[in-house]
Amino acid sequence: MSTIRLTMAQAIARFLTAQKTEIDGQVMPLFGGVWAIFGHGNVAGMGEALHGARETLPTFRAHNEQGMAHAAIAFAKASRRRRMMACTTSIGPGATNMVTAAAVAHVNRLPVLLLPGDVFANRRPDPVLQQIESFSDGTISANDCFKPVSRYFDRITRPEQIIPALQRAMTVLTDPAECGPVTLALCQDTQAEAYDYPESFFAKKIWTPRRIRPDEAELAKAAELIRSAKKPFIVAGGGVLYSGAEKALADFAEKHGLSVGETQAGKSSLAHDHQANLGAVGVTGTGAANTLAEDSDVVIAVGTRLQDFTTGSWALFKNPHRRIVGLNVQTFDATKHNALPLIADARVGLEELSRALDNWKAPEAWTAKAREEKARWFDTAARYTNPTNAELPSDSQVIGAVQRTSQATDVVVCAAGGLPGELHKLWKASTALGYHMEYGYSCMGYEIAGGLGVKMADPSREVIVMVGDGSYLMMNSELATSIMLGQKLTIVLLDNRGYGCINRLQRATGGESFNNLLQHTNHVTLPDIDFSAHAASLGAQAMKVKGIGELEDALKKARSAEHSTVIVIDTDPLASTDAGGHWWDVAVPEVSVREQVKSARKDYETALAAQRVGD
């Protein structure tokens, strides 16, 4: 057996370089690069190895470990999970800064390879700088925090252990059902140890997506149930996009006269003007999609994990005879709430299900109702997005301005707060992957870093990041990284002077405005933050605009800019789109001295009665 002597870190770099993927007939690197912030736990081992591989495995320097992992996750999502990135950090805070991002990837079923440095395997210098010491377990380090938010976790204490660890990592990262974050904690002394690795370990391998075909019995049962439906409805999740099943979904809906509601992850599966697309479904859903969902007797859930925002906390589907067909690659998701499972890739599953249904179509009256509801919703939505001269426009009016100045191929990126809900209802996505939302973990701070990852995945598309002042203050450092890497973003910063979304939720549950908007916090002096000056100090082209007209002008200028632009606009923290939507289960206190809370509790108890517990 031919071998090559390398350090463990060098072996990782060489192995990652050898992993390939094939997209549209073109073989390309599976790993788009490695994000690295070096410290004493990885600079000597991984740093030296990545320097040696820099021509074939590019290394990108970020400003925050969580931010760089967000960028890597967004890159994978924008690449339909067909390409991915790795992230390496030092031990201690560098590593634990990535734990939140690992949770984002875990919840959203997205691949990212995390390579945090770890303590010395030989333990001779213990305790080293930044080492967490457990009083009861000598094997624990800070990296054990990654265990609950990793699909696969391993700690490498000997150089040869990286062989099975990387092989296992790849099977997880590329598996459509098991896909998620992998953490390989790299003991810092082991990174520098040499081993005679078999050359076969570094042979080029091309990874292609596994397309799971449905079981014949499950397929027959699903088709039988759908044929019995009088009011069938499709919920399209992120699995549609990861599978590349947009055409299969459109063909399925058209052939069988079905309507589609899109989750946050599934939005842009169909063009907004496609006859079957009723838009967003659930808590932040459109009036059209939710009207049909409420009355549907068979819900065909395609590639969705059916989280509470999609199901209205399991109170949306009100038909007492409602059944669910769970078309999903992951059994865990396909069987939720007593669903009839159809374990399959979304594209193949829809194609074979369509053949099994043959010429069956939903009743014409049900299809006609969907058309009527869609037209009614489009008229309603327009009222919220139309231009205004208001001094403090609403989020929806800002969205309207961005929409009017955008092009069909643009990508809008957002994550947390009230904006994702408004975008889910109101944004008109024209092309697949044109809507990029992190709303599985709803992670503040994802927006700018995520936009950077999206741009790196497809530099040909204009990327528009919409972010609130709260998220911007929480994490803005990767704006500087976008400048450094020449990855142009257009960032629309909506300043409502606090956490406007949670303030609205606080008031809706009977609470008094408290500790969310800046004016309601414990303060001596209210901050007067000049966001445009701050963005300019990071290297961006920045401007503050007044009103929707100036915003549209600024957006047009930003399109022709050479590097990232930040446009700041003051907005109303109280206004939101009250049309559409659905109840969301947020527990209200049973006991309170506030009459508003008591009233909200009564409404809450009434709403709870609509939940389908155990069904």
pLDDT (tens digit per residue) in 486-503: 999 999 999 999 999 999
Please give the Cα distance from 423 to 87 (Å, whole number): 30
pLDDT digits (tens, 9 = 90+) for 102-128: 999 999 999 999 999 999 999 999 999
Whole-prediction pTM: 0.98
Q: CB-based contacts of 393: which residues, under 8 Å, 6+ apart?
A: 547, 548, 569, 571, 572
Residue 558: pLDDT band with limits 50, 70, 90: very high
Residue 615: pLDDT over 90: no
User: Mean pLDDT over residues 36-51, rounded?
Assistant: 97
Q: Please name the helix (run of DSSP H) or strand (run of DSSP E) that holds residue 465, with its range, or none.
A: strand 463-468
Q: Which residue has the tokens 């072996």?
A: 11
Q: Under DSSP, is residue 86 helix (H, G, I), strand (E, B) or coil?
A: strand
Q: What pLDDT sits at residue 614?
A: 65
pLDDT digits (tens, 9 = 90+) for 146-191: 999 999 999 999 999 999 999 999 999 999 999 999 999 999 999 9
Residue 612: pLDDT band with limits 50, 70, 90: confident
Other Cβ atoms closer than 10 A to 592: 15
Q: Under DSSP, is residue 521 helix (H, G, I), strand (E, B) or coil?
A: coil
Q: Under DSSP, is residue 181 helix (H, G, I), strand (E, B) or coil?
A: strand
Cis peptide preceding 573, ω within 30 of 0: no
Q: Are 87 and 113 in contact (CB under 8 A)?
A: yes
Task: Annotate 239-258 with DSSP letters as a single string.
Answer: HHHHHT-HHHHHHHHHHHT-
- Nearest C-alpha neighbor of 378 from the set 301, 232, 240, 274: 274
* Residue 566, φ and ψ in degrees, nearest 5: -115, 125
Please give the Cα distance from 465 to 470 (Å, whole number): 14
User: Mean pLDDT over residues 522-531, rounded?
Assistant: 94
* Cα distances (angstroms) measured from residue 539 to each of 43, 330, 565: 27, 44, 9
SS3 string of 366-387?
A: HHHHHHHHHHHHHHHHHHHHCC
Residue 434: pLDDT over 90: yes
User: Mean pLDDT over residues 436-453, rounded?
Assistant: 97
pLDDT digits (tens, 9 = 90+) for 378-419: 999 999 999 999 999 999 999 999 999 999 999 999 999 999
Q: Under DSSP, is residue 20 helix (H, G, I), strand (E, B) or coil?
A: strand
Structure-block tokens of residue 362: 């939903």
In 24-145, the DSSP E strands lie at 26-29, 31-36, 59-61, 84-89, 112-118
User: Mean pLDDT over residues 575-596, rounded?
Assistant: 96
Please give the Cα distance from 89 to 101 (Å, whole number): 13
Task: Annotate 560-578 with DSSP letters as a single string.
Answer: T-SS-EEEEEE--SS----
Residue 613: pLDDT band with limits 50, 70, 90: confident
Distance linking the first and last C-alpha atoms of the chain: 57
Please give the Cα distance from 242 to 331 (Å, whole number): 17
Structure-block tokens of residue 425: 């209802």
- Nearest C-alpha neighbor of 76 from the set 112, 24, 48, 43: 112
Residue 95: pLDDT band with limits 50, 70, 90: very high
Domains, the chain, with CATH or none: 3-207 (3.40.50.970), 216-377 (3.40.50.1220), 386-570 (3.40.50.970)
* Residue 488, φ and ψ in degrees, nearest 5: -75, 130
DSSP state of 329: S
In 30-188, the DSSP E strands lie at 31-36, 59-61, 84-89, 112-118, 152-156, 181-187
| Type of residue at 592 | S
Q: Tell me how many helices (H) and strands (E) the chain has.
A: 24, 23
Burial of 507 (C-beta count, 10 Å sphere; 0-12/13-18/19+): middle
User: Mean pLDDT over residues 454-463, rounded?
Assistant: 98
